[in-house]
Amino acid sequence: MDPARIDRDYPQGTNFQLLVAQQQLARMGVVDDAQGTQATAYRTLLSSELKFRAADLVRRDPSVIGQTVEITAPMSDDADLYYKGEITRDEDAALRRVSDRQMEWLDDLKRDGSVTSGFNTLLFTQGDSTEPELAGVLGAVVGSALMLLVTALIAIPLGVGAAVYLEEFARKGRITDLIEVNINNLAAVPSIVYGLLGLALFINFAHLPRSSPLVGGLVLALMALPTIIIATRSSLKAVPPSIREAALAMGASRTQTVFHHVLPLAMPGVMTGTIISMAHALGETAPLLLIGMVSFVPGIPGAITEPAGALPSLVYIWENASELAFHERTAAAILVLLVFMIVMNAAAILLRRRFERRW
């Protein structure tokens, strides 16, 4: 920590990567040229997380200035790929992203034990970033959670309400037939069409904020609605009519019959259907592409009207990214997504097994 180069009040102004690079080069006895090309080349092997961590350290404890401290930070994606053997010396030197000289440095670092490999927890604590080694899924997870919250708050009451009306209250006739055919077809409409609906209706017509979990949640809610209605109706159908007759004959009104007896008995089935449709909504990507949820959103969203990413669209963005290291991140993001999906689906299956009732 060179006191001459660190401003006590504004530590993040210091280029710590360069500082470290110069120190390392000095230790190896390499004399840099006037433009500092060597140090710049060395610097690119270190991630900017190093800078944040060093600045943070100084801010918390200004007395470290002037001392030598050890800071652990991730290497850059290129260094990482080299260590993993994804970039080799066999490739054309002009095309590959790591020069021979940098490779030597990296080999040196490895030899003297300055480099250890470990799990990069930034994956879980950071939002998206343009630098693969710093990019994390937290922003997308929060975005997905906010979106799912909107979806659940809209789709579940609406879906259950509609199903209860159609199954328990509506007089069977033309209108209910029409609604029924309509719902069956809505369930099979391609998801991208819902994206077009969201774009035209919510963004261009109602001027809701683009890329926001609010719009995403609304679109997914409309998508999830038919599934929830169909699942709820079939579990309401499974409640035997004798229960309804018993309650009605006791002098319960139809509303009391439904809300005191039928709906509670149908609840396990309703919940199973709901969880499955929520899991489906969580993994849905195509409509999100059209309402702008594939834009680069570095932060972590704090409200449903702020721009946000979502887990599946993050997978899509990272898969499309040019840096090779993003492909590994994509796999990691998919694992996160799949964990959520499997937990939700397994919960639904368990719920069904546990509460399945034969009349």
Partner 1 sequence: MKLPFFRSPDGREGGTPADPTEAPRMGGQVLPGADAPLDRRDETVLPTEPAVSDAQGEVPPTVTAPAVPVGPTKIAARDISVFYGDKQALYDVSLDIPDKTVTSFIGPSGCGKSTFLRCMNRMNDTIQGARVTGQILMDGDDINARSVDPVLLRAQVGMVFQKPNPFPKTIYENVAYGPRIHGLTSSKSEMDGIVEVSLKRAGLWDEVADRLHSAGTGLSGGQQQRLVIARAIAVNPEVILMDEPCSALDPIATAKIEELIDELREQYCIVIVTHSMAQAARVSQRTAFFHLGRLVEHGDTEEIFTNPRERRTLDYITGRFG
Partner 2 sequence: MIWFLIPVVAVLAVVAYAAGLALAKRRAAGHPQAHSRPQQHGYYALIWVAAPALAVIILAGIFSGPIAQNLISAGLPDVVQDMEPFRRDAFLNDARLLGEGQRPFQTWTGPLAEALESEAARSAGIQRTLMWGGIAGAALAALLGGLLAFAQIGPTLRARNRVEGWIGGLLFACSVVAILTTVGIVFSLVFDAVRFFDRVSITEFLFGTQWSPQIAIRADQVGSTGAFGAVPLFAGTFLIMLIAMAVAAPVGLFSAIYLSEYAGPITRGVVKPMLEILAGVPTVVYGFFAALTVGPAFREFFNGIGALLVGGPLDGLGQYLMLVQNQMALVAGTVMGIMLIPFVSSLSDDIINAVPQSLRDGSYAMGATKSETVSRVLLPAALPGIAGAMLLAVSRAIGETMIVTMAAGLAANLTLNPLDTVTTVTVQIVTLLTGDQEFDSAKTLAAFGLGLTLFIVTLLLNIVAQRIVQTYREQYD
**Among residues 188, 241, 251, 354, the one that binds partner 2 under rule CB under 8 A:** 188
Alpha-carbon distance of 203 to 197, in angstroms, equals 9
Please tell me whether residue 158 binds partner 2 under the rule CB under 8 A: yes
Is the CB of 46 or the CB of 337 nearer to partner 2? 337
SS (H, E, C) the chain: CCCCCCCCCCHHHCCHHHHHHHHHHHHHCCCCCCCCHHHHHHHCCECCHHHHHHHHHHHHCHHHCCCCCCCCCCECHHHHHHHCCCCCCCCCCCCCCCCHHHHHHHHHHHHCCCCCCCCCCHHHHCCCCCCHHHCCCHHHHHHHHHHHHHHHHHHHHHHHHHHHHHHHHCCCCHHHHHHHHHHHHHHHCCHHHHHHHHHHHHHHHCCCCCCCHHHHHHHHHHHHHHHHHHHHHHHHHCCCHHHHHHHHHCCCCHHHHHHHHHHHHHHHHHHHHHHHHHHHHHHCCHHHHHCCCCCCCCCCCCCCCCCCCCHHHHHHHHHHCCCCHHHHHHHHHHHHHHHHHHHHHHHHHHHHHHHCCCC
What residues does 46 pair with on adjacent strands?
75
Residue with tokens 């949820």: 293
Rounded to the nearest whole angstrom, what is the least distance from the CB of residue 178 to partner 2 in the complex? 8
Inter-residue contact 136 to 128 (CB < 8 Å): yes
321 touches which of partner 2, partner 1, none (CB within 5 to 8 A by kind)?
A: none
Is the CB of 23 or the CB of 176 nearer to partner 1? 176
Is the CB of 115 or the CB of 170 nearer to partner 1? 170
| CB-CB neighbours of 130 under 10 Å | 11
Rounded to the nearest whole angstrom, what is the least distance from the CB of residue 248 to partner 1 in the complex? 6
Those residues with Cβ within 8 angstroms of residue 240's Cβ, 6 or more apart along the chain or in another chain? 359
Please tell me whether residue 212 binds partner 2 under the rule CB under 8 A: no
Is the CB of 11 or the CB of 195 nearer to partner 2? 195
Rounded to the nearest whole angstrom, what is the least distance from the CB of residue 341 to partner 2 in the complex? 5
Rounded to the nearest whole angstrom, what is the least distance from the CB of residue 262 to partner 1 in the complex? 11
Please tell me whether residue 193 binds partner 2 under the rule CB under 8 A: yes
Please tell me whether residue 302 binds partner 2 under the rule CB under 8 A: no
Stretch that binds partner 2, among 65-73, 98-106, 112-120, 182-190 (CB under 8 A): 182-190
Alpha-carbon distance of 49 to 136, in angstroms, equals 13
**Among residues 130, 327, 339, 355, the one that binds partner 2 under rule CB under 8 A:** 327
Please tell me whether residue 139 binds partner 2 under the rule CB under 8 A: no
Residues that bind partner 1 (CB under 8 A): 171-172, 240, 242-254, 256, 260-261, 265
Rounded to the nearest whole angstrom, what is the least distance from the CB of residue 352 to partner 1 in the complex? 18
Rounded to the nearest whole angstrom, what is the least distance from the CB of residue 73 to partner 2 in the complex? 28
Please tell me whether residue 196 binds partner 2 under the rule CB under 8 A: yes
Rounded to the nearest whole angstrom, what is the least distance from the CB of residue 179 to partner 1 in the complex? 16
134 touches which of partner 2, partner 1, none (CB within 5 to 8 A by kind)?
A: none
- Cα of first residue to Cα of last residue in the chain, in angstroms, is 75
Rounded to the nearest whole angstrom, what is the least distance from the CB of residue 321 to partner 1 in the complex? 55
Stretch that binds partner 2, among 111-119, 145-153, 184-192, 300-308 (CB under 8 A): 184-192
Is the CB of 197 or the CB of 239 nearer to partner 2? 197
Residue ranges binding partner 2 (CB under 8 A): 157-159, 161-166, 169-170, 178-179, 181-186, 188-197, 199-201, 204-205, 222, 225-226, 229, 253-255, 276, 279-280, 282-286, 289-290, 294, 312-313, 315-316, 319-320, 327, 330-331, 334, 337-338, 341-342, 344-346, 349
